[in-house]
């Protein structure tokens, strides 16, 4: 018997959902959303399995020139752009997601990678210099171990551009089975005897759909993710801990359980 797809939760966010980061050790999903009209960036943290918020719509002192980069353990990392004329001039701070406070700050750091309690990056104030910081304290580490990248336990789809042999195969499946006419690009992954396909159709402008089927082609779920699009997206959905998560209409996060 094929798994079923059951609704889990949904949340409407303030502004366009711009970025998400998973902390697998605590099943926390961090969400960055941006309101262009207000020039504000909002950050939220919720339980990735239940949808319960730890906190929601936090705005920092720098409300716009800021972005969520990565997270591990109990620390989320945010980049602050210190000069609107020079995007290479960056700072970074560590934020404790449980205590909800900034625990360290470095005003000359461009993030490269995070792993095994270390943060690697570049300082550029006095020339180009590779440096490593301790994740929890932000202090510089002089004899750092080799960085082991964090496994966020997220299963992401593969993207195939129109003309790729896998695009042609998947398109033929959608056309012959469901009379659909996908164009531009597809995202595809198989998991737990289910097939997940994000595809685009021309409806004046592009519209993006997510279809979940059994391995035999029985439709479990179809959702219209967005419409009136100017181009294609990447990672329009992802799988985590037995759930599929995706964003609809740029502002609403959905989660369905695979049961």
Please, which pLDDT band fits residue 15 given cuts at 50, 70 and 90?
A: very high
State residue 29's pLDDT score.
98
Q: How confident is the model at residue 79 (pLDDT cuts 50, 70, 90)?
A: very high
- Give tens-digit pLDDT for 103-128: 999 999 999 999 889 999 999 887 78
Mean pLDDT (whole number) for 182-203 = 96
Assign domain 5-134 to its CATH architecture. Beta Barrel (2.40)
Mean pLDDT over 240-251 rounds to: 98
Give the pLDDT confidence score for residue 54 in this predicted structure: 98
Give pLDDT, residue 127: 78
What pLDDT, on the 0 to 100 scale, is given for residue 97?
A: 98
| pLDDT, position 116 | 82
83 pLDDT band (50/70/90 cuts)? confident
Ordered DSSP codes for the chain: ----EEEEEEEE-SSEEEEEEEETTTTEEEEEEEETTTTEEEEEEEETTT--EEEEEE--SS-SSEEEEEEETTEEEEEEES-TT-TT-EEEEEEETTTTEEEEEESS-EEEEEETTEEEEEE-BTB-EEEEEETTT--B-SSPPPP-B----EE-PEEEETTSHHHHHHHHHHHHHH----EEEEEEEEETTEEEEEEEEEESEEEEEEEEEETT--EEEEEEEEEEESS--S--EEEETTEEEEEETTTEEEEEEE-
What Rg do the C-alpha atoms of the chain give, in angstroms? 20
| pLDDT over threshold 80, residue 87 | no
Question: Encoding tokens for residue 10?
Answer: 């949904």
Average pLDDT, the chain: 94
- List the domain boundaries for the chain: 5-134, 157-234
115 vs 207, more confident: 207
Running DSSP on this structure, what letter comes out for residue 147?
Answer: P
Instruction: Provide the percentage of residues in the chain whose pLDDT is more than 70.
Output: 99
Report pTM: 0.94
Q: What is the per-residue pLDDT for 2? A: 73
Query: Is the pLDDT at 144 greater than 80, yes or no?
Result: no
3 state SS of 172: helix
Q: Which of the four pLDDT bands, split at 50, 70 and 90, describes residue 244?
A: very high
Whether residue 243 is predicted with pLDDT greater than 80 in this model: the reply is: yes
């Amino acid at each position: 018997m094929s798994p079923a797809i059951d609704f889990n939760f949904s949340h409407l966010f303030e502004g366009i959902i711009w970025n998400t980061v998973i902390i697998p050790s605590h099943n926390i999903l961090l969400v960055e959303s941006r309101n262009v009209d207000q020039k504000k960036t909002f950050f939220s943290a919720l339980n990735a399995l239940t949808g319960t918020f730890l906190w929601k719509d936090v705005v920092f002192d720098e409300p716009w020139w800021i972005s969520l980069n990565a997270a591990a353990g109990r620390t989320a990392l945010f980049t602050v752009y210190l000069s609107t004329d020079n995007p290479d001039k960056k700072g970074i701070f560590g934020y404790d997601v449980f205590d909800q406070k900034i625990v360290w700050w470095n005003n000359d750091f461009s993030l490269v990678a995070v792993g095994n309690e270390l943060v690697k990056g570049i300082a550029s104030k006095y020339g180009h210099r590779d440096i490593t910081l301790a994740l929890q304290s932000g202090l510089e580490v002089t004899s750092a171990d080799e960085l082991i990248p964090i496994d966020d336990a997220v299963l992401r789809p593969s993207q195939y551009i129109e003309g790729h042999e896998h695009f042609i195969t998947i398109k033929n499946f959608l056309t012959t089975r469901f009379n659909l006419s996908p164009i531009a690009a597809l995202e595809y992954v198989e998991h737990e005897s289910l097939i997940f396909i994000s595809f685009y159709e021309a409806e004046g402008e592009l519209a993006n759909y997510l279809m979940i089927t059994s391995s035999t082609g029985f439709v479990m779920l179809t959702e219209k993710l967005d419409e009136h699009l100017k181009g294609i997206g990447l990672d329009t959905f992802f799988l985590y801990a037995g759930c599929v998560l995706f964003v609809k209409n740029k502002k609403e996060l959905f989660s369905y359980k695979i049961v």
